Structure 1
Amino acid sequence: MTAKKNGDPEDGSLGVLDDAASVDTTGIGILGGTAQVRVTLPTEDDDDLADDGVVEGEVIGDLIVDDLTLPAAPRPVDDAPRRDEVIEAVVVDEPATAPTPEIATDDTAEEETAAALFLAKAVADRAETAAPIRASASARATTTPVQKTTPVQKETTMPEADGKPVVPAAARPAPRTDVTLTSKRLGELGESARESADLLTPDRLLDPHRVTKPEPEGGWSHLLYTLSGRRLNIGDGRRARERKALTARIAAPLAGGARFVPVLSRKGGVGKTTITALLGMALADAREDRVIAVDANPDRGTLADRVQRPQHGKSVRDLVRIRDDVRGYHDISAIVARDATRLDVLASDADPRVAEAFSDTDYRDVADVAAHYYSLVLTDTGTGIVHSVMSATLDLADQIVIVSGLSVDEARLASETLTWLETNGYAQQARDAIVVLNQSTPGTPLVRLGELEAHFATRARSVVRVPYDPQIAAGGTIVFANLLPETRKAARELAALLVEGLRAKAA
């Protein structure tokens, strides 16, 4: 390092320090009794950290050097210079009374070198003091999100640290205090995973080993249970299990509104009204909701004669008259008849002096009222399929039951009924229909039942055979509990198939 005397600047630099040729060299020029020093801190190539609000190259302070010495008191730690900032110290002329320092000559190069080394050491000490500040700034740069510039703000270039923008402390968002903590059950993915109250069934919650079994049904099972002092319970017998399983099929819930099921036949005397009564009794006996059977025969119907005849003499026409005044089920219960199975029956008009037949409009009015108070509405449509009520009956039908007798002509007419449905816009109802083969006479039928069942199985969804029963053949009131076991089982199987068909259509 070389020094020049006052007043002898050879390059016209007026004693201003030359720019450092490298990061660790400093040039000093002497003019008058003062010196101007410019120091650049060393910068690492892989560290471009800039602290909050500091712009590279900004002059942050003036340093007055008197007799080549630094200011006595250093700046606080928070104001310490960063490694990449420049300290520019300008020494001004002292007043005339101030002593003039001695200037080094060419013969005193060693003293000048020592002074420069002293100055460099002081700057290095400041850099070490600023190291904790740089570490804190680096931590903030890695955790503080970048503030986006809105359209009304002035866009500026943010300094970067480790390749990520650094946001000034004043621009950092305040911590959120409105966060609400919620707890969720393990495995819960959303609203679709929430369970409703109806899933809390006894079968799911109760320990089967601690629940007392009900008294078994069946001859041997009940005998063993009794002889063991009610300590040995092997469960129900086979027939009891089958009966309970059939009841569960009938009692299966039906979602949605009322379901309409017409019972059809093209020939009288095949037992259509009887099948309507048996089906209604089997449904009402096993289900918890309401079931009604409507006699929609345009002429005199006999459905009410097959159940307990109402003493008040009300009929379907009375319901048509008060349809606009019905306010609750009690208004309906004053018109219908109810048997022991809780089946409600709406009788047809039995007055022979009434000349006006039950019409299509009347049936729609009755159906509209019944849909508000019943889940299942069975309809005895009368003889034929082209009478005035049939159009409304088929339009509202959710499931169709077709009754056939066990003779050649009765079976052919039942098959032709399916053909008529298929060709008149009810093809799907025909394919989903249930065909009932009703034996109304005792003894072995003349036709081969296997052939009849095979034929109708190709055209309809299910085929059910109802055996002969003396109580039904007598033509009086039907008591469901007094029927033969085979008859009750056939009626219950018909009801189970009907419910399964309705549930399948709703799925």
Structure 2
Amino acid sequence: MAPERNENEGENADNGVLATTDGTETTGIGIVEGATAQVEVTLPTAFDEEDDFDDDVVRGEDVTLVQLEQPPAERDEVRGEAPATTAVPVASVSTASAEPAPKTAAATKASSSVASTSATAPAASDASRAELDHHERVRPRTSEITLQSRRLGDFEVDRESSDLLTADRLLDPAHVVRPEPEGAWRHLVYTLSGRRINLGDSKRARARKQLDDRITAPLSGGARFVPVLSRKGGVGKTTVTTLLGMALADAREDRIIAVDANPDRGTLAERVGRTSGKTVRDLVRARGDVHGFNDISQIVARDHTRLDVLASDADPHVSEAFSDADYRDVAEVAAHFYSVVLTDTGTGIVHSVMEATLEHADELVIVAGLSIDEARLASETLTWLESNGYAERVRSAVVVLNTSRPGAALVRADELDAHFRSRVRAVVRLPYDPHIASGSAISFRDLQPETRDAARELAAIVVEGLRASSVAA
């Protein structure tokens, strides 16, 4: 149905003013050529001061603004740049739906008619211009700039970091100075050639350095306890403890301590040759006052290889022997300051300290002599340990065949070696050394090379066992 015209239709035919806009959806709007069509538009009132609109964000509502295209002259008039009359664009604010309503053909024509409104329309008020400026400010932005923090290397590809300055990259192999070779004639050639010919280390020097690497391998975790056991006295248990401790302390950078846990009277401190006058009993009494290494260093004795030794109680007036509770107290303190704790146990394996010693043990060292009865007692020691819940420790143990007498042994050492290798992880032979047989204090540097190498081999095997046990745990 065609829209209803104004009562003064005949008089204002040239103006083409519609009385109402309800029927603007029809397509039969007649517009006289050369005339202008006017549509009554109700602009929204000024926004309430409590509305949630701000200059950039409209909270909770969707705003749809429709700005009609205007000639440049008319846009200048809307902004107040010219006092002439202006046309009013249509703006619709929708809060009910985020999707804009579809435009009909009639609405499109009406928009075109409004865009061509005559300049004879009354001038917009100051309030209308303010509202139009506000609509332009809240117009949604077509693009936004995203700021990101980037690493320097993301946009500076050619810039290198300091970690790329490695020795392999910077040092010229032709000018790298190799260490002086070890070995008599190799060092002579190196010297006579003006340090230009370096044949490298001798075979013996390379073996020694490889042994050093095995001994100095890092140990992760807390302190490790290695007791040295024997069911028979006089087979060299204290000697083996001393040599093992010296070999470890001489090569490693961490702290090593040897504890004399003989419940009667041990001679470990005498084999070191340096005593502090304090014993394990003093450490038990002062354990509550030990707060740093300086406190414990006043109780232990230190060897020239940096081996610390905690002597046993040698006072004959003491009525109570060193017990398993005392050993646990000593072990608790030693574990705070040392990486490896060696324990020189007493004769036999059924005395009071042995239970606490085996509880802390990470690896066992069994000492056997080169005689029938000494070898048999060592084998029985392994059987007793297997029968009392330490079978796993036996399989990872080390047996030391100590030669305490000069000359050829009466038993065949190869047969003993084969027997113990069938039960434990490794067997080490310790040769006879007159420096040890004298019974005086042991100086590690004064030992025969064969004895020193055997002690170092024992230390390397013990470290490898400790590393293997930490991985398995």
> Could you tell me the TM-score, scaled by structure 2's length?
0.70
1:286 aligns with 2:251: yes
Unaligned runs of 5+ in 1: 1-12, 17-30, 37-57, 91-118, 127-167, 187-196
Aligned equivalents of 2:31 and 2:283: distance in 1?
A: 119
8 Å CA contact 2:256, 2:307 repeated in 1? yes
Partner of residue 476, structure 1? 440
Amino acid at match of 1:230: R
Residues 159-198 of structure 1, C-alpha deviation per residue, up to 9 Å, x if partnerless?
xxxxxxxxx9849896544x32235699xxxxxxxxxx9x
Aligned equivalents of 1:365 and 1:206: distance in 2?
A: 54
1:365 alignment partner, SS class: helix
Distance 1:14 1:245, change over 3 A: closer
Partner of residue 210, structure 2? 245
1:440 aligns with 2:431: no
Partner of residue 215, structure 1? 180
Distance 1:388 1:14, change over 3 A: closer
Residues 373-406 of structure 1, C-alpha deviation per residue, up to 9 Å, x if partnerless?
1111100011111111111111111111111111
1:87 aligns with 2:52: no
Distance 1:386 1:70, change over 3 A: farther
2:399 alignment partner, SS class: strand
Amino acid at match of 1:290: R
Distance 1:421 1:66, change over 3 A: same
1:88 alignment partner, SS class: helix
Aligned equivalents of 2:141 and 2:401: distance in 1?
A: 87
Specify which of 469, 493, 498 is matched with residue 462 of structure 2: 498
Q: Shift of the alpha carbon at 1:462?
A: 1.2
CA RMSD of aligned residues (A): 4.1
Residues 272-293 of structure 1, C-alpha deviation per residue, up to 9 Å, x if partnerless?
1000000000000001111110
Partner of residue 275, structure 1? 240
8 Å CA contact 1:400, 1:430 repeated in 2? yes
8 Å CA contact 2:25, 2:107 repeated in 1? no
Aligned equivalents of 1:172 and 1:326: distance in 2?
A: 73
1:371 alignment partner, SS class: helix
Aligned equivalents of 1:491 and 1:406: distance in 2?
A: 17
**Aligned counterparts, 1:200-211, within 5 A:** 208-211=173-176
2:106 alignment partner, SS class: strand
Q: Shift of the alpha carbon at 1:67?
A: 3.5
Partner of residue 364, structure 2? 400
2:392 alignment partner, SS class: helix
8 Å CA contact 2:2, 2:28 repeated in 1? no
Distance 1:434 1:228, change over 3 A: same
Distance 1:297 1:15, change over 3 A: closer
Amino acid at match of 1:87: A
8 Å CA contact 1:59, 1:86 repeated in 2? no
**Aligned counterparts, 1:87-486, within 5 A:** 87-88=105-106, 170=140, 175-177=145-147, 179-183=148-152, 208-310=173-275, 312-486=276-450
Amino acid at match of 1:447: V
Amino acid at match of 1:276: T
Distance 1:60 1:293, change over 3 A: farther
Aligned equivalents of 2:107 and 2:419: distance in 1?
A: 114
Distance 1:75 1:256, change over 3 A: closer
Q: Shift of the alpha carbon at 1:360?
A: 0.6
Aligned equivalents of 1:395 and 1:183: distance in 2?
A: 56
Unaligned runs of 5+ in 2: 17-22, 39-67, 76-88, 91-99, 117-137, 156-162
Distance 1:15 1:308, change over 3 A: closer
Q: Shift of the alpha carbon at 1:297?
A: 0.3
Aligned equivalents of 2:172 and 2:401: distance in 1?
A: 45
8 Å CA contact 2:257, 2:308 repeated in 1? yes
Aligned equivalents of 1:247 and 1:475: distance in 2?
A: 28
8 Å CA contact 1:280, 1:291 repeated in 2? yes
8 Å CA contact 2:366, 2:400 repeated in 1? yes
8 Å CA contact 1:63, 1:70 repeated in 2? no
> Could you tell me the TM-score, scaled by structure 1's length?
0.66
Q: Shift of the alpha carbon at 1:204?
A: 9.6
Choose 300-309 or 489-498, whichever is displaced more. 300-309
1:239 alignment partner, SS class: helix
8 Å CA contact 1:64, 1:89 repeated in 2? no
**Aligned counterparts, 1:10-89, within 5 A:** 65-67=30-32, 71=36, 75-76=69-70, 85-88=103-106
8 Å CA contact 1:64, 1:70 repeated in 2? no
8 Å CA contact 2:3, 2:24 repeated in 1? no
Identity, % of aligned positions: 63
Distance 1:354 1:62, change over 3 A: same
Residues 387-426 of structure 1, C-alpha deviation per residue, up to 9 Å, x if partnerless?
1111111111111111111122222221221221122121
8 Å CA contact 1:295, 1:347 repeated in 2? yes
8 Å CA contact 1:295, 1:303 repeated in 2? yes
Q: Shift of the alpha carbon at 1:230?
A: 2.6
Residues 473-494 of structure 1, C-alpha deviation per residue, up to 9 Å, x if partnerless?
1111111111111111110011
Aligned equivalents of 1:201 and 1:393: distance in 2?
A: 48
Q: Give the paired residue count.
A: 379
Amino acid at match of 1:501: G
8 Å CA contact 1:59, 1:87 repeated in 2? no
Residues 347-376 of structure 1, C-alpha deviation per residue, up to 9 Å, x if partnerless?
111122222111111111111111111111
Aligned equivalents of 2:167 and 2:240: distance in 1?
A: 36
Amino acid at match of 1:219: A
Aligned equivalents of 1:482 and 1:323: distance in 2?
A: 36
